[in-house]
Protein backbone atom coordinates (compact mmCIF):
# COMPACT_ATOMS: atom_id res chain seq x y z
CA UNK A 1 0.00 0.00 0.00
CA UNK A 2 1.42 3.37 -1.00
CA UNK A 3 2.01 6.13 1.52
CA UNK A 4 -0.68 8.36 0.00
CA UNK A 5 -3.30 5.63 0.18
CA UNK A 6 -2.27 4.75 3.75
CA UNK A 7 -2.44 8.37 4.92
CA UNK A 8 -5.80 8.90 3.22
CA UNK A 9 -7.21 5.78 4.86
CA UNK A 10 -5.74 6.77 8.22
CA UNK A 11 -7.26 10.27 7.91
CA UNK A 12 -10.67 8.80 7.02
CA UNK A 13 -10.36 6.36 9.92
CA UNK A 14 -9.54 9.06 12.46
CA UNK A 15 -12.20 11.39 11.03
CA UNK A 16 -14.88 8.70 11.22
CA UNK A 17 -13.83 7.81 14.80
CA UNK A 18 -14.15 11.48 15.71
CA UNK A 19 -17.62 11.68 14.16
CA UNK A 20 -18.77 8.51 15.95
CA UNK A 21 -17.47 9.63 19.34
CA UNK A 22 -18.68 13.19 18.85
CA UNK A 23 -22.06 12.07 17.57
CA UNK A 24 -22.67 9.76 20.51
CA UNK A 25 -21.43 12.38 22.96
CA UNK A 26 -23.74 14.97 21.39
CA UNK A 27 -26.92 12.95 21.90
CA UNK A 28 -27.33 13.54 25.67
CA UNK A 29 -26.40 17.20 25.22
CA UNK A 30 -29.18 17.66 22.64
CA UNK A 31 -31.61 15.91 24.99
CA UNK A 32 -30.58 18.15 27.92
CA UNK A 33 -30.91 21.31 25.82
CA UNK A 34 -34.33 20.23 24.57
CA UNK A 35 -35.56 19.56 28.11
CA UNK A 36 -34.30 22.95 29.26
CA UNK A 37 -36.11 24.63 26.37
CA UNK A 38 -39.24 22.56 27.10
CA UNK A 39 -39.42 21.08 23.63
CA UNK A 40 -41.69 18.10 23.17
CA UNK A 41 -40.28 14.62 23.63
CA UNK A 42 -41.32 13.22 20.24
CA UNK A 43 -39.63 15.95 18.12
CA UNK A 44 -36.48 15.66 20.22
CA UNK A 45 -36.48 11.89 19.81
CA UNK A 46 -36.78 12.32 16.03
CA UNK A 47 -33.75 14.65 16.07
CA UNK A 48 -31.77 12.17 18.16
CA UNK A 49 -32.74 9.33 15.86
CA UNK A 50 -31.71 11.39 12.81
CA UNK A 51 -28.30 12.15 14.33
CA UNK A 52 -27.82 8.45 15.00
CA UNK A 53 -28.99 7.10 11.66
CA UNK A 54 -27.67 9.83 9.37
CA UNK A 55 -24.39 10.69 11.09
CA UNK A 56 -23.20 8.08 13.58
CA UNK A 57 -24.14 4.90 11.69
CA UNK A 58 -22.48 5.85 8.36
CA UNK A 59 -19.38 7.05 10.21
CA UNK A 60 -19.27 3.77 12.16
CA UNK A 61 -19.43 1.83 8.90
CA UNK A 62 -16.60 3.88 7.44
CA UNK A 63 -14.64 3.38 10.67
CA UNK A 64 -14.97 -0.39 10.37
CA UNK A 65 -14.07 -0.54 6.68
CA UNK A 66 -11.04 1.75 6.96
CA UNK A 67 -9.88 -0.05 10.11
CA UNK A 68 -10.03 -3.44 8.39
CA UNK A 69 -8.23 -2.08 5.32
CA UNK A 70 -5.52 -0.49 7.47
CA UNK A 71 -5.06 -3.65 9.53
CA UNK A 72 -4.90 -5.91 6.48
CA UNK A 73 -2.73 -3.73 4.27
CA UNK A 74 -5.15 -4.60 1.43
CA UNK A 75 -4.25 -8.29 1.52
CA UNK A 76 -6.17 -11.21 2.98
CA UNK A 77 -2.87 -12.81 4.02
CA UNK A 78 -1.97 -9.64 5.89
CA UNK A 79 -5.40 -9.63 7.45
CA UNK A 80 -5.05 -13.21 8.69
CA UNK A 81 -1.57 -12.52 10.03
CA UNK A 82 -2.80 -9.43 11.88
CA UNK A 83 -5.68 -11.31 13.47
CA UNK A 84 -3.59 -14.37 14.40
CA UNK A 85 -0.38 -12.55 15.28
CA UNK A 86 -1.87 -9.86 17.51
CA UNK A 87 -4.98 -10.11 19.65
CA UNK A 88 -5.74 -6.40 20.01
CA UNK A 89 -7.44 -6.17 16.61
CA UNK A 90 -9.80 -8.98 17.67
CA UNK A 91 -10.55 -7.21 20.94
CA UNK A 92 -11.16 -3.93 19.12
CA UNK A 93 -13.39 -5.61 16.55
CA UNK A 94 -15.29 -7.44 19.30
CA UNK A 95 -15.89 -4.17 21.14
CA UNK A 96 -16.99 -2.54 17.88
CA UNK A 97 -19.52 -5.35 17.33
CA UNK A 98 -20.83 -4.98 20.90
CA UNK A 99 -21.24 -1.23 20.44
CA UNK A 100 -23.02 -1.73 17.11
CA UNK A 101 -25.39 -4.28 18.64
CA UNK A 102 -26.09 -2.09 21.65
CA UNK A 103 -26.69 1.01 19.55
CA UNK A 104 -28.89 -0.76 17.01
CA UNK A 105 -30.96 -2.80 19.45
CA UNK A 106 -31.30 -0.94 22.72
CA UNK A 107 -30.52 2.69 21.85
CA UNK A 108 -31.82 2.72 18.28
CA UNK A 109 -35.00 0.76 18.96
CA UNK A 110 -35.77 2.93 21.98
CA UNK A 111 -35.15 6.11 19.99
CA UNK A 112 -37.51 4.88 17.27
CA UNK A 113 -40.25 4.22 19.85
CA UNK A 114 -39.71 7.65 21.37
CA UNK A 115 -39.82 9.27 17.92
CA UNK A 116 -43.18 7.62 17.24
CA UNK A 117 -44.59 9.42 20.28
CA UNK A 118 -44.21 6.84 23.06
CA UNK A 119 -42.71 9.21 25.64
CA UNK A 120 -42.72 6.97 28.70
CA UNK A 121 -40.08 8.01 31.26
CA UNK A 122 -38.84 4.41 31.42
CA UNK A 123 -37.96 4.59 27.72
CA UNK A 124 -35.81 7.67 28.28
CA UNK A 125 -34.09 5.87 31.16
CA UNK A 126 -33.45 2.84 28.95
CA UNK A 127 -32.09 5.14 26.23
CA UNK A 128 -29.72 6.87 28.69
CA UNK A 129 -28.46 3.57 30.14
CA UNK A 130 -27.88 2.14 26.66
CA UNK A 131 -26.11 5.27 25.51
CA UNK A 132 -23.91 5.40 28.62
CA UNK A 133 -23.01 1.72 28.18
CA UNK A 134 -22.13 2.32 24.54
CA UNK A 135 -20.02 5.30 25.61
CA UNK A 136 -18.02 3.18 28.07
CA UNK A 137 -17.46 0.49 25.45
CA UNK A 138 -16.48 3.17 22.93
CA UNK A 139 -13.81 4.57 25.26
CA UNK A 140 -12.50 1.02 25.81
CA UNK A 141 -12.41 0.35 22.06
CA UNK A 142 -10.64 3.65 21.45
CA UNK A 143 -8.03 2.78 24.10
CA UNK A 144 -7.43 -0.63 22.50
CA UNK A 145 -7.03 0.92 19.04
CA UNK A 146 -4.72 3.70 20.20
CA UNK A 147 -2.52 1.81 22.66
CA UNK A 148 -2.60 -1.62 20.96
CA UNK A 149 -2.04 -3.65 24.15
CA UNK A 150 -0.05 -6.86 24.04
CA UNK A 151 -2.58 -9.52 25.02
Q: Is residue 8 very low, low, confident or very high in pLDDT (cuts 50, 70, 90)?
A: very high
State the helix-helix crossing angle for 76-85 and 57-72, rounded to 10 degrees: 90
Residue 59 is predicted with a pLDDT of 94
Domain ranges of the chain: 3-147
**CA atoms of 118 and 121, how far apart (whole Å):** 9
**CA atoms of 68 and 85, how far apart (whole Å):** 15
Residue 82 is predicted with a pLDDT of 56
CB atoms within 10 A of CB 43: 12
Quick: pLDDT tens for 90-120.
888 899 899 989 988 888 888 888 888 887 8
Nearest to 145 by CA among 57, 66, 56: 66
Residue 146 is predicted with a pLDDT of 85
Greatest CA separation found in the chain? Answer: 56
CA torsion, points 1, 19, 101, 117, in degrees to nearest 10?
-150
Q: Is residue 37 very low, low, confident or very high in pLDDT (cuts 50, 70, 90)?
A: confident
Quick: pLDDT tens for 49-59.
889 889 998 99
Whether the predicted model's global pTM rises above the 0.75 cut: yes
Is the Cβ–Cβ distance between 64 and 103 less than 8 Å? no
Amino acid sequence: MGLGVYLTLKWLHVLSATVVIGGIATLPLVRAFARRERLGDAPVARILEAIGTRLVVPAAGLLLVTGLLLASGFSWVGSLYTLVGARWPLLGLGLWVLIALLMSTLVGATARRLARGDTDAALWTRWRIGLASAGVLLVAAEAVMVFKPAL
